[in-house]
């Protein structure tokens, strides 16, 4: 039977801990699971809740920081110092696993030793709302070549993973090291890419693998100024992977151009869509254009997204929302988003 070490970092989320731990220990029949809860000096009763859970189940260990060390140090403590199972998972205290998720992930990794980690589809749910119905029957799995998967991330300029749905081979986690403290907001995508530079990537088809809670603290990158911060963090993450994995990526220069071109396109698209939606007063349009220029000095102005922005500026912020249905790029955006969504649902990439 495969062994799985699950690290649950917690900061002020003690009221979620019982449900989170239950999803790990009571709903994963078929794997040998141990849990480490690390409370990062929470000012509430999180530590006492964690200790009470550990008192009732010998599979649970608890560590309590006397001073707050931050989420990156907490992650690395669990992943690199404590985890000793065949596989390791990092699960935020406010998220949950779908029943059987670890069993499905372990089966994939057992069958494919070339795969360094695997993931599946997460289900998002809003804080305070009910859990959505989850699929628990897999329709199979697929293993993507790691370099191919990694190159796709560079070409798309984004990740395809939320986080709680990932299970990593512990030996590979130790080999590539922990999360980078210089990337507090983009450490996840950088980690998945580093892992993919060393091994192939598995995907569980058909079944849902985790519940990801959406609330105020993880919605900041979807609004206005947070969008620009998100793009900047992604750029740092891509550069970091190229630096750390240079010896494994002979086409690093081409990958860098691909990522920077895609990020510039994202920035300019967000800028011109501010005109489509009548949000130029709140979206940092000028800063988004500056970021595109930073990504592609001298080249951003030749992109179609920049031409689309120039057209909208000529039309004007007041008139553009009414003319959006007649503008080809606005229609193309909706089609592009729909195609990406369909691909992600089927293939996880």
Q: Where are the beta strands (DSSP E) in the chain?
A: 3-10, 32-39, 60-64, 87-90, 96-97, 115-126, 140-144, 167-169, 200-214
Q: Give the pLDDT of residue 202.
A: 98
Q: Give the pLDDT of residue 227.
A: 83
Q: pTM, whole model, 2 decimals?
A: 0.90
Alpha carbons within 13 angstroms on the beta-carbon side of residue 136 total 12
Q: Which residues pair with 205 in a beta bridge?
A: 140
> What size, in residues, is the chain?
349
Q: Give the pLDDT of residue 222.
A: 46
Query: pLDDT 10s digit of each residue in the chain, 349 long?
Result: 999 999 999 999 999 999 999 999 999 999 999 999 999 999 999 999 999 999 999 999 999 999 999 999 999 999 999 999 999 999 999 999 999 999 999 999 999 999 999 999 999 998 887 899 999 999 999 999 999 999 999 999 999 999 999 999 999 999 999 999 999 989 999 999 999 999 999 999 999 999 999 976 554 444 555 889 999 999 999 999 999 999 999 999 999 999 999 999 999 999 999 998 899 999 999 999 999 999 999 899 999 999 999 999 998 888 887 676 545 555 555 555 555 556 666 678 7
Q: Are strands 140-144 and 200-214 parallel, antiparallel or unpaired?
A: antiparallel
Q: Give the pLDDT of residue 348.
A: 82
Please give the Cα distance from 139 to 135 (Å, whole number): 10
Q: Give the pLDDT of residue 148.
A: 97
């Amino acid at each position: 039977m495969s062994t799985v070490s699950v690290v649950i970092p917690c900061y002020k989320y003690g009221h979620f801990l019982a449900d989170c731990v239950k999803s790990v220990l009571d709903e994963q029949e078929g794997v040998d699971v141990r849990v480490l809860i690390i409370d990062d000096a929470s000012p509430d009763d999180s530590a006492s809740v964690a200790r009470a859970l550990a008192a009732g189940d010998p599979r649970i260990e608890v560590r309590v920081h006397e001073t707050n060390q931050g989420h990156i140090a907490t992650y690395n403590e669990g992943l690199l110092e404590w985890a000793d199972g065949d596989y390791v998972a990092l699960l935020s205290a406010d998220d949950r696993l779908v029943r059987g998720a670890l069993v499905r992930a372990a089966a994939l990794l057992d069958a494919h030793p070339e795969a360094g980690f695997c993931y599946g589809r997460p289900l998002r749910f809003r804080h305070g709302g009910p859990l959505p119905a989850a699929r628990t029957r897999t329709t199979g799995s697929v293993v993507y070549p790691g370099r191919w998967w990694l190159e796709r991330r560079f070409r798309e300029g984004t990740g395809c993973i939320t986080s709680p749905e990932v299970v990593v081979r512990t030996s590979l986690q130790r080999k590539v090291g922990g999360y980078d403290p210089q990337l507090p907001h983009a450490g996840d995508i950088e980690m998945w890419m580093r892992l993919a530079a060393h091994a192939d990537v598995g995907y569980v088809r058909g079944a849902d693998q985790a519940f990801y809670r959406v609330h105020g603290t993880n919605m900041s990158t979807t609004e206005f100024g947070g969008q620009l911060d998100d793009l900047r963090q992604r750029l740092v993450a891509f550069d970091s992977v190229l630096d750390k994995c240079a010896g494994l990526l002979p086409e690093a220069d081409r990958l860098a151009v691909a990522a920077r071109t895609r990020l510039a396109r994202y920035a300019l698209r967000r800028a011109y869509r501010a005109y489509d939606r009548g949000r130029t007063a709140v979206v940092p349009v000028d800063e988004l254009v500056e970021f595109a220029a930073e990504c592609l000095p001298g080249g951003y102005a030749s992109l179609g997204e920049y031409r689309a922005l120039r057209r909208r500026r000529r039309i004007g912020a007041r008139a553009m929302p009414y003319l959006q249905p007649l503008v080809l790029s606005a229609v193309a955006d909706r089609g592009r988003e729909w195609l990406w969504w369909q691909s992600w649902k089927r293939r996880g990439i």
